[in-house]
Amino acid sequence: MHVRALGRFTRLGIAWLVSSALGCARPATVVEVHLDSDISLTERMTVRVAALRSDVAPQWREIGTFGPDTERRLPASFSVVSATEQDSVVRLLIEADIAPPRQRQLRREVRLSFRRGLLTSTRVFLSSRCTDARTGCIAPGPCTLSLYCLERGLTCGDEGRCESPDAPPAALDGPMSDATEPSDAASPIDVRPSCVEGATACVGAALQRCTAGAFTTIASCATVALCAPSGCRAPACSVGQLRCNGRLRERCNDDRTGYVRVETCATDALCAPSRCAAPACGPGELRCNGANREQCNAGRTGWAVLQSCATAALCTPSSCTPPACNVGDRRCDGEALQACRIDRTGWSTIQNCSGCDRCSPMGCFDACA
């Protein structure tokens, strides 16, 4: 294929598999990726790309180093050529290493949709916001917005927000002519092997076998990522399935190879597949509930009794106050007859003895009689 310069776009070629290498007679199926960023205006940035496949390690190809101190500037473009005559999808990972002082890495995933015999294009913008530091990443090391998004099955998009990695291509020139030739601008990155009799390969989610010099589909896997030359792998989960993993609410990823984090609940016990429940109390929080001293339980779902005080009035969150007396007790304070309060916090005068009357715990008696 020919890789054309578009406006200020750099003339680069990354071919996933040149059609003529397999002897294809039909026009090539091409997605042209137009790459731009607001980072290289002020900082040096090295960009590389790789196709993501479940059965082989990524084959990285460098697009170039861009920045104010280099001769190369963004925007730039490169082409991805499909070897299959069918519509298919390729997961493309774009990685940008940014030099000091920022010294961070930006990763963005794009899913390229090939349309049979068409030249289509998609624009990818690497936003400086995607390198912003944040919290909540699962992987150790520096946590950036782009890493945070990828861990959730998303990608950091043009506006510096987590979004779907699907890239809807826009048609440029319609069907390509039969005169299209392979590009020699760069050696190809293979996403499937040459057609050797009996060999198997994945084209999107289709598992194909080479028979009589051509690949034919022998099985359709549940997703692209579950397709491997050895066969279709079983999905790890169902579409949209939710679960709790400790305190993490997780959702089945788009590839159905595992789960991505949706939300982190306050505790394991507060996690339900559909939502995180609100904590009933704070960690270690104490309170009185009637005469009971209580503490927030470990799961923060409610309260556990620590101690039962004699009465509610004697309860404080930190301790039980000892009773001043027992219910039914009486005493004399001078000539005042007193009884223990019902809450056992102290004494109350119930009668004052006067004149010849004298006080006793049983009541006032006439001392003059």
The amino acid present at 243, given as its one-letter code, is R
Q: Counting beta carbons within 10 angstroms of the beta carbon of residue 17, is it exposed (0 to 12), middle (13 to 18) or buried (19 or more)?
A: buried
What pLDDT does residue 313 have? 96
| Residue 75: cis peptide before it, omega within 30 degrees of 0 | yes
User: CB atoms < 10 A from the CB of 317, how many?
Assistant: 12
Closest CA to 33 of 16, 58, 55: 16
* Matching residue, tokens 């990823």: 253
Rounded to an integer, what distance in angstroms lies between the CA atom of residue 141 and that of residue 146?
A: 13
What pLDDT does residue 9 have? 34
Contact 269, 300 (CB under 8 A): yes
Rounded to an integer, what distance in angstroms lies between the CA atom of residue 109 and that of residue 125?
A: 11
20: left (phi over 0), alpha (psi -120 to 50) or beta: alpha
pLDDT tens for the chain, 369 residues long, are 222 333 333 333 333 332 322 333 344 567 788 888 888 667 888 888 887 765 555 677 888 888 877 777 778 887 777 655 556 677 788 888 888 776 788 888 888 777 766 777 788 888 888 988 888 887 777 888 888 888 888 888 888 888 887 755 444 444 433 333 333 333 333 444 567 888 887 777 888 888 888 888 899 999 878 888 888 999 999 999 999 999 999 999 888 888 988 999 999 999 999 999 999 999 999 999 999 999 999 999 999 999 999 999 999 999 999 999 999 999 999 889 999 999 999 999 998 888 767 888 888 887 676
Q: Which residues fall within 8 angstroms of residue 209, CB to CB, at 6 or more apart?
A: 198, 199, 200, 215, 216, 218
What pLDDT does residue 88 have? 67
Rounded to an integer, what distance in angstroms lies between the CA atom of residue 246 and that of residue 252?
A: 16
What pLDDT does residue 153 have? 80
pTM score of the predicted model: 0.47
The helix/strand/coil state of 268 is helix
